[in-house]
Structure 1
Amino acid sequence: MAQVKICGLSHPEHVAAAVDAGARYLGFVFFPKSPRAVLPQQAAALMGDTPPGVARVGLFVNPDDALLEQVLAQAPLDMIQLHGAETPARVAEVKALSGLPVIKAVGVAEPADLDGLWDHGLAADMLLVDAKPPKDATLPGGNGLAFDWRLLTGRKWLKPWLLAGGLTPQNVAEAIRLTGAPGVDVSSGVETAPGQKDSDLIRAFVAAART
């Protein structure tokens, strides 16, 4: 069964829905421009009752060391997700600074973009294959956009990976079938409006991905 990450959580009832449904990863966004952003103290409260075996992931976009240290001092993260233009060298720096595994997101729109998965696979502990955002986008992810999943058919990467980008309860099973993804990540696909998660959609997504 595919592992599931629910990203952009900001309310206790949605965290509980994700855990109860069987999500393996819970994502908390520390990027102020996002409608899903939370403060470190908010995230700490949301993470308080996370059971063993469920990883708490902090999402950052091109963070400096000061921001990372501020968040880590307050929120008990298990992993860090880098969703900006971080280089493999910066990924390695963040791993050393935090002492935590790092997920690196790589945007894909065409075959040439797949090279980034090999480059970052040398430094990151896990990869997140997402749709490349439009040039005028204000967010690096969570835009509800999909890419041609057939680009990933039959491919192997150096590290474990999650598929993201435009996934919904209706299409996640097909996306897994086409790509062979061992895990999936969703944010906008379980929302009724940007930043507004829906517990029923969360449960439906996890159920579809795991079957």
Structure 2
Amino acid sequence: MPKRGYHHGNLRQALVEAALELIEDKGPTGFTLSEAASRAGVTPAAVYRHFAGRDDLIAEAALQGYEIFGALMARAYDSGGPSALSAFEATGRAYLAFARKHPGHYIAMFESGISVNRTPELAAAARAARRVLEEAAARLCQHIPAAKRPPATMFSAHIWAMSHGVVELFARGAPGSAGPYPPEDLLESGIGIYLRGLGLIPPDQGDA
């Protein structure tokens, strides 16, 4: 891939964008700060004015990813339809769409080994993204008697895990990852089975 070049006056962002390209090309541990500097069109010494090391650079990419992710999930939920169920389903589709459209961010967020607690800003962005799904889960469960109602954090964590698994196994395009069904169908049918188990949709209803 040709060098991006640093021309627009925002070196910090140029380095993040260079890192995202390198993460896609080589993985989060497959590049050096010098390579990021070279791709951004600056000297290695310039990087250290903004980032103490590669992990700090990846953490910034993850932070921006969570901000994009949270906004995308919120928009999907708000425009997902009139019912709590249709809005909830929209967040699942948004998860797959984000992984496809922003693979560098996705890897930085979930596959780099960088803790979401590395910085207060990163932790806050991650919480805000999770909160969208938790609020969607809470709304969907409102009519379940309180004594039988699963905690929204647990409900949303189950759906998050299912979404992540579908992305990792079938939506990232890795060799050998092709499945017998489209990722969207796998996720929606999985969510449907989960919701039936909670009694949130009737047994004879079509796939969620």
* TM-score greater than 0.5 by the shorter chain: no
Larger strand fraction of residues: 1
| TM-score normalised by length of structure 1 | 0.26
| TM-score normalised by length of structure 2 | 0.26
Larger helix fraction of residues: 2
Which protein is bigger by CA-based radius of gyration?
2
Between the two structures, name the one with larger relative contact order (CA 8 Å, sep ≥ 6).
Answer: 1
